[in-house]
Amino acid sequence: MNLNCLFRHPRESDVNEVRRSGSILSAAMLAAVLVSNIAIASPAVCNMRLSVELTPDVPNPVDLGFLSSLLSNQAGYRLTLQGWRPGSVIVIELTGSGPDPRCQDVVEAMRKDGRVLSIHVDQEPS
């Protein structure tokens, strides 16, 4: 009876198991590095919910043309109507690229619009 044959297979399976474990560990480490690099490289995103009180003379505050006109020349940002409250108040979501200071600049530019009486930041949507 050849005893080498009996001892050889467990060692090969142990080696294969170690290789497989090493491959899994390497793949997990690579995934962690890639995810952290993506998080670092991802640009900041503006996402704010706003209540905007308008002057009563705005004819149709829910009109898409009106909403986009509130942004004036702020490229890369978008207003989405979320609701309309009595008293010429619209609830909108401001989204776009850029860190928080740029997002605040967009809100400040909207506050200077003659049709806007006030803007209140309700919350940052999740």
49 in the same domain as 37: no
What is the tally of structural domains in the chain?
2
Cα separations in angstroms, 102 against 74, 87, 119: 10, 29, 16
Cα–Cα distance, 92 to 50 (Å, whole number): 5
pTM of the entire predicted model: 0.63
70 in the same domain as 14: no
27 in the same domain as 51: no
98 in the same domain as 69: yes
Task: Give the largest CA-CA distance in the chain.
Answer: 101
pLDDT (tens, 9 = 90+) of the chain, 126 residues, equals 555 555 555 556 665 665 666 677 666 666 665 655 544 556 679 999 999 999 999 988 888 899 999 998 888 999 999 999 888 999 999 999 888 889 999 999 999 999 999 999 986 555
Cβ-defined contacts of 104-107 (< 8 Å, 24+): 106/46, 106/71, 106/74, 106/77, 107/48, 107/50
112 in the same domain as 52: yes
106 in the same domain as 61: yes
21 in the same domain as 2: yes
Q: pLDDT digit string (tens) for 25-59?
A: 666 666 665 655 544 556 679 999 999 999 999 98
104 in the same domain as 67: yes
The domain of 63 spans 45-123
